Amino acid sequence: MKAVIQNEFGDSDVLLYTEVELPKIRDKEVLIKTEYTSVNYADIKKRMGNKGKGDFPFTLGLDVAGTIEEVSDGSPFSIGDRVIAFPKAGSYAEYVVANEQLVFKIPDGLSFKQAATAPTVSILAYILIHEIGQVKKTDTIVIHSAAGGVGSMLVQLAKQAGVKKIIGTVGNLNKKGYVKSLGADVVCTYESFVEEVLKLTNNLGANTIFDSVAGEVTSKSLECLALYGTLVQFGNSSGKAGNFKTSDVHSSCRNIKGFSLGTTRKHDPARLADVAEKVLELFASEKIMLPIARVFDLSEAAQAHKLIESRNYEGKILIKV
């Protein structure tokens, strides 16, 4: 089968479109013929070696939408089922193997293309909004990187939950119209958000801040987080660690919560099934959606990575396999 592999860390030129062996399934696994896979910022970090050492050669990619080709004995799935999944060994490939616990049926009427935008970003965003952040209708919330995949979903899910005031931050204000169209009330830059939040809340601050950037954005977020507020930390796209002191939280009764979808897929996969069903139903009923910035062929994975790194896009970037 065709796949994209890499034999070393580096820029997008290390991605090699080549022929590899078809993977084999074990007990409680399924083989899926890939229709689409999405490109996530985590792929960039892994390609460059920012997520630990690599066992070369390896294939990037977190999720797929496709059709089940083979099942093990007693499987809850059948050959021909349309599914999204988090595969075992990357998704930039014509066929992938996934653990049954990380495979979810696509509702009738939802296309592979739209379903492919959903797995990583929408499941993560749903858990962040409803389980980790536990947002309330009366809240003022801040969503950093609001034009990205997870940010786009967080804004829509917060809007759907009836959150009173949604503030989105962007690196460039040319994305302001897009983020507002998703449901944000206010859109500002990383440079101005502290001042904007304090002004909008009479200096009380935001109740919940969703931070996937880390670095300086984390410490600035604490400057405008309300008493009893929650900073939800779920990434570090800046490449730098965010810092805070214990005195930033105990006397103000504020808390910092962390969450990783990758950790949850590995250690508590059963937690994802209900969430996947809910978000896929939201997509199928068109209550939420993710615009597709561009679709690349599998052989064009390097170009897809270059577009992600440019940050000059809105919504999701997909690879058609």
**pLDDT tens sequence across 94-120:** 999 999 999 999 999 999 999 999 999
| Segment 125-137, tens digit of pLDDT | 999 999 999 999 9
From 306, 304, 142, select the one nearest 217 (Cα to Cα): 142
Query: Which pLDDT does position 50 carry in this prediction?
Result: 87
Structure letter (DSSP) for residue 280: H
pLDDT reported for residue 215: 96
Q: What does the pLDDT read at residue 146?
A: 96
Alpha helices in 161-300 (DSSP H): 176-182, 193-200, 216-222, 261-267, 273-284
Which residues of the chain carry a pLDDT beneath 50? none
Q: Tell me the three state secondary structure of residue 149.
A: helix
- Residue-wise pLDDT for 53-103, tens only, equals 778 999 999 999 999 999 999 999 999 999 999 999 999 999 999 999 999
Instruction: Please give the single-letter amino acid code of residue 112.
Output: F
pLDDT score of 315: 85
**Residue recorded with tokens 């577009």:** 307
Q: What pLDDT score was predicted for residue 54?
A: 79
Write down the pLDDT at residue 311.
86
126-146 b/e with 16+ CB inside 10 Å = b? bbbbeebbebeeebbbbbbbb
What beta strand segments (E) does the chain contain?
Answer: 2-5, 16-19, 29-39, 64-71, 82-85, 95-99, 103-105, 140-143, 165-170, 186-189, 206-211, 225-233, 255-258, 292-297, 316-320
* Tokens linked to 230: 């929650």
Q: What is the pLDDT of residue 7?
A: 97
According to DSSP, residue 21 is labeled P
Instruction: State residue 314's pLDDT score.
Output: 85
Question: Cβ(139)–Cβ(163) under 8 Å?
Answer: yes
